[in-house]
Amino acid sequence: MQKKIKLLIFMFLIVTSLYGQNSAFTTSVSLVGMSMDYKEYDNSSTLIDSEKSDFMELGGVEIGLGYMVSKEMSAYTQVNMNFMMLTGSSTYKGSVLGSGDPYGTITSTTQNTIMDMELSYKRGYSLSKSLELNYGLGFGYRYWERSLSASQVETYTWYSLRPMIGVDYALNNRVNIALELEYQYGINPVMDESTYGEFTLGGADIIELSLPISYKYNEKLDMFFEYVYQKQTIEKSNVVSGYIEPDSIANNQYLKLGMRFKF
């Protein structure tokens, strides 16, 4: 994981070094709460097990670094790097692995660690004095460690290409509200299970809708609140030792509260 973080930082520095020194950097930090609603299904679409948490049970922090490559009268180009880390618990409902018992036979607590990294390129255009259209492309990495027990730990990892589009509306000189849509196409998704080893997943894609609201405190500081909805779809894996990782759908929500500094 440390190697992947260092690689993301290195890529960001390479991109920003290709441009001049007349552009501004921004950095951000926010507290994040996550509401998880994850469900696994068998081949007949019958619910096998689930994980649920509220915003207070699963949380952490997100940090970001941005570089304004160019800024014109009606357009701008920006490079951004973000890293999010969450930890906490969720409530598991399911059954003993391989027992054939119905859903809900067992209820327990799962410990989770979620990390998400992204490097993105964004281009924005002013459509009017208060309305902006932006689009871009990102490259990311996602990590989810799901510790159901001391003897059963499942770790999901994949890279992703992330095209995005959004609109930004200035309510006044201080308050902005935006709507952003992002699709994350999973590359090389795998799940490593502590007993049976690595499972190759059929796919791992995310559709993300976010609603950020920012308040300009002064020329150097913005404060922001953001609501994010994600629909995550994982397709079943290959067979390993007679077992598969089944299809799953997660409807997850995030609340973010933070500050953005310009320097």
Q: What is the reported pLDDT for 20?
A: 47
Q: Which domain holds residue 139?
A: 2-262
Q: How confident is the model at residue 102 (pLDDT cuts 50, 70, 90)?
A: confident
Q: How confident is the model at residue 193 (pLDDT cuts 50, 70, 90)?
A: very high
Q: What is the CATH number of the domain that holds 58?
A: 2.40.128.100
DSSP symbols for the chain: -HHHHHHHHHHHHHHHHTS-S-S-EEEEEEEEEEE-EEEEE-TT--EEEEEE--TTTEEEEEEEEEEEEEE-SSEEEEEEEEEEEEEEEEEEEE--TTS-PPTTSEEEEEEEEEEEEEEEEEEEEESSSSEEEEEEEEEEEEEEEEEEETTEEEEEEEEEEEEEEEEEEESSSSEEEEEEEEEEEEEEEEEEETTTEEEEEEEEEEEEEEEEEEEE-SSSEEEEEEEEEEEEEEEEE--BTTB-PPEEEEEEEEEEEEEEEE-
Is it the case that residue 3 has pLDDT exceeding 90? Answer: no
The total number of structural domains in the chain stands at 1
Q: What is the reported pLDDT for 72?
A: 87
Q: What is the reported pLDDT for 253?
A: 98
pLDDT digits (tens, 9 = 90+) for 52-91: 999 999 999 999 999 999 888 899 999 999 999 999 999 9
